[in-house]
């Protein structure tokens, strides 16, 4: 393991599968709200030139579930997509300085 | 890094992301000094792989593995990029509808000049890659541009690389703050972690060259563009620099940028400059 990695601190471990399930069945409004929030975060990540492929595919899965009337599935996927997008934003923000740690000097 | 590479290898299905927020130990004055960067870059690889001849770094994964190198040398007798090379040569000689040819767009008729690309265009204030220059040549002569990731572009660059084989990479950074900025941006792009797997180009090509990712042996970052374009069995065809960058981004689960995005142009400038002095070896063939 490199010195840079050893010095590094694991700040967040995001286990997406452990997101808490909703208490009641979701409806279309829940889906629309969750999807809109995910879309905002994903657009921000894209604007930072740091979109993750998994954000895009999870957002697409949310839409597909929503279109098919599976609102529980759609809300869960939208929340996951939002979490992914937000993680990519954190990454892009921290890398503005953190990249220098890896530089060959 | 070993741990991260095995994360990539082992858990492609796991929806897990770990942020390693390194605390950088950066010296106070961050002056852009490309010559010093290139020197440090080369020294790093020469020290890390003392048994690899300096000129051999341009052979990508083959410089890292003797068995693989032997197989490759046997293959070079009937190189799989030959069809592409022939096609490129013919395309290069065939006039556009207006009677002009590619040769009219390039210094020295386009022969033996691969080592000078990318260059910084002080008029545009941006880096111009060979792939970009080729499409600009087409458009200036009333032809539709080629896809940056498909065979035609690979054939043209294969031919131009072939006529430049053995020539030392010779990238200039003019005395222009925008050129220094492009170099610096390319460097930052190279070292910046991205994608759900949180990898930078350097995670694979600086920290882990010679290691395996699935079936592939990672090429060292030093001289990594000298062999481009490359034939890959996995692609069952040729790949341009644009195609390779896009593939590498996707591997870390980062959405790739559009071909010839400023970031890609700049990272090509950076990687080529730090390889100055190492010979052009393209086109290449990979397993």
Q: What is the mean pLDDT of residues B73-77?
A: 79
Whether residue B1 is predicted with pLDDT greater than 70 in this model: the reply is no
CB contact under 8 A, A7 and B23: yes
DSSP calls for B103-143: GGGSGGGGTT-GGG-SEEETTTTEEE-HHHHHHHHHHHTT-
- What pLDDT score was predicted for residue B4? 52
Whether residue A11 is predicted with pLDDT greater than 50 in this model: the reply is no
Taking contacts as CB-CB distances below 8 angstroms, the residues of chain A near B44 are: 104
Q: At what angle do helices B130-140 and B151-162 cross, to 10 degrees?
A: 110
Q: Which residue has the higher pLDDT, B286 or B226?
A: B226
B242 touches B250 (CB < 8 A): no
- What pLDDT score was predicted for residue B11? 37
Least confident window among B68-77, B199-208, B268-277? B68-77
Strand segments, DSSP code E, in chain A are: 9-15
- Name the residue facing A49 among B193, B203, B263 (closest C-beta): B263
B256 touches B98 (CB < 8 A): no
Confidence of residue B286 (pLDDT cuts 50, 70, 90): confident
Measure CA B69 to chain center. Answer: 20
Q: At what angle do helices A53-67 and A28-47 cross, to 10 degrees?
A: 160
Q: Which residue has the higher pLDDT, B8 or A11?
A: B8
Angle at B60 between CA B54 and CA B86, to 5 degrees: 110
Phi-psi region of B24 (alpha: psi -120 to 50; beta: other; left: phi over 0): beta
Taking contacts as CB-CB distances below 8 angstroms, the residues of chain A near B23 are: 7-9, 101
Least confident window among B6-15, B227-236, B248-257, B275-284? B6-15
Q: Which one of B8, B12, B15, B22 makes the best mutation probe of the A interface by having the most chain A beta carbons within 10 Å?
A: B22
Q: Where are the domains of chain A?
A: 25-97
CB contact under 8 A, B20 and A9: yes
CB contact under 8 A, A8 and B22: yes
Whether residue A88 is predicted with pLDDT greater than 90 in this model: the reply is yes
Average confidence score pLDDT of chain B: 90
- Specify the CATH number for B31-286; select among 1.10.760.10, 3.40.50.20, 3.30.720.110, 2.130.10.10: 1.10.760.10
Taking contacts as CB-CB distances below 8 angstroms, the residues of chain A near B206 are: 102, 104
The reported pTM is: 0.90
Q: What is the mean pLDDT of residues B260-264?
A: 98
pLDDT in tens, A39-70: 999 999 999 999 999 999 999 999 999 999 99
Confidence of residue B214 (pLDDT cuts 50, 70, 90): confident
Q: What is the mean pLDDT of residues B39-49?
A: 97
Q: What is the mean pLDDT of residues B258-279?
A: 98
B173 touches B287 (CB < 8 A): no
Measure CA A42 to chain center. Answer: 8
- β pairing state of B230-232 and B284-286: parallel
Structure tokens at B191: 């070292």
Say which DSSP state A14 is in. E
Whether residue B38 is predicted with pLDDT greater than 80 in this model: the reply is yes
The residues in A 69-88 lying below 8 A from B, measured between CB atoms, are 80, 84, 87-88
pLDDT in tens, B140-176: 999 999 999 999 999 999 999 999 999 999 999 999 9
Phi-psi region of B233 (alpha: psi -120 to 50; beta: other; left: phi over 0): alpha
Confidence of residue B107 (pLDDT cuts 50, 70, 90): very high
- What pLDDT score was predicted for residue A2? 40
Distances B272 to A7, B6, B34, B172, B276 between C-alpha atoms, Å: 30, 29, 11, 10, 7
Confidence of residue A6 (pLDDT cuts 50, 70, 90): very low
- What pLDDT score was predicted for residue B72? 81
CA distance B188 to A100: 8
- What pLDDT score was predicted for residue A68? 98
The residues in B 96-155 lying below 8 A from A, measured between CB atoms, are none
Half-sphere exposure of B109 toward its Cβ, with a 13 Å CA cutoff?
Answer: 5
- Name the residue facing B24 among A10, A84, A101 (closest C-beta): A101
Say whether B137 is catalytic: no
Say how many C-beta atoms besides its own lie within 10 A of residue A50's C-beta: 23
* 3-state DSSP percent of chain B in helix, strand and coil, to 5: 45, 10, 45
- B105, B137, B204, B248: the catalytic one is B248
ipTM for the predicted complex: 0.88
Among A85, A82, A104, A102, which Cα is nearest to A93's?
Answer: A85
Taking contacts as CB-CB distances below 8 angstroms, the residues of chain B near A88 are: 196
Structure tokens at B112: 């033996």
């Amino acid at each position: 393991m490199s010195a840079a990695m050893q010095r590094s601190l694991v700040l967040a471990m995001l286990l997406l599968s452990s997101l808490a399930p909703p208490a009641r069945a979701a409806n279309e409004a829940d889906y629309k709200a969750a999807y809109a929030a995910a879309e905002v975060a994903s657009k921000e990540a894209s604007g930072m030139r740091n979109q993750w492929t998994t954000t895009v595919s999870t957002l697409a899965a949310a839409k597909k579930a929503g279109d098919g009337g599976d609102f529980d599935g759609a809300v869960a996927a939208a929340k996951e997509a939002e979490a992914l997008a937000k993680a990519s934003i954190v990454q892009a923000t921290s890398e503005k300085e953190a990249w220098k740690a890896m530089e060959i000097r | 890094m070993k741990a991260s590479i095995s994360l990539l290898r082992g858990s492609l299905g796991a929806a897990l992301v770990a942020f390693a927020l390194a605390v950088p130990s950066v010296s106070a004055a961050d002056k852009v000094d490309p010559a010093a960067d290139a020197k440090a870059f080369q020294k790093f690889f020469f020290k890390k792989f003392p048994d690899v001849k300096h000129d051999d770094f341009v052979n990508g994964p083959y410089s890292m593995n003797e068995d693989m190198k032997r197989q490759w040398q046997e293959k070079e007798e009937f190189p799989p990029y030959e069809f592409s090379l022939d096609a490129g040569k013919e395309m290069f000689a065939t006039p556009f509808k207006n009677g002009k040819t590619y040769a009219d767009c390039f210094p020295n008729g386009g022969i033996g000049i691969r080592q000078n690309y990318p260059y910084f265009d002080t008029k545009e204030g941006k880096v111009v890659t060979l792939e970009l220059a080729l499409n600009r040549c087409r458009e200036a002569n009333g032809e539709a541009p080629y896809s940056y990731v498909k065979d035609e572009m690979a054939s043209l660059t294969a031919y131009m690389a072939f006529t430049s084989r053995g020539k030392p990479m010779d990238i200039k950074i003019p005395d222009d703050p925008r050129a220094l900025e492009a170099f610096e941006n390319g460097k930052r792009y190279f070292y910046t972690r991205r994608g759900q797997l949180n990898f930078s180009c350097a995670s694979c090509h600086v920290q882990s060259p010679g290691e395996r990712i699935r079936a592939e042996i990672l090429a060292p970052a030093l001289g990594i563009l000298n062999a481009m374009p490359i034939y890959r069995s996995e692609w069952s065809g040729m790949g341009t620099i644009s195609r390779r960058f896009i593939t590498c981004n996707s591997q870390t689960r980062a959405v790739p940028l559009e071909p010839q995005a400023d970031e890609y142009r700049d990272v090509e400038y950076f990687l080529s400059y730090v390889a100055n002095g190492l010979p052009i070896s393209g086109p290449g063939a990979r397993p």
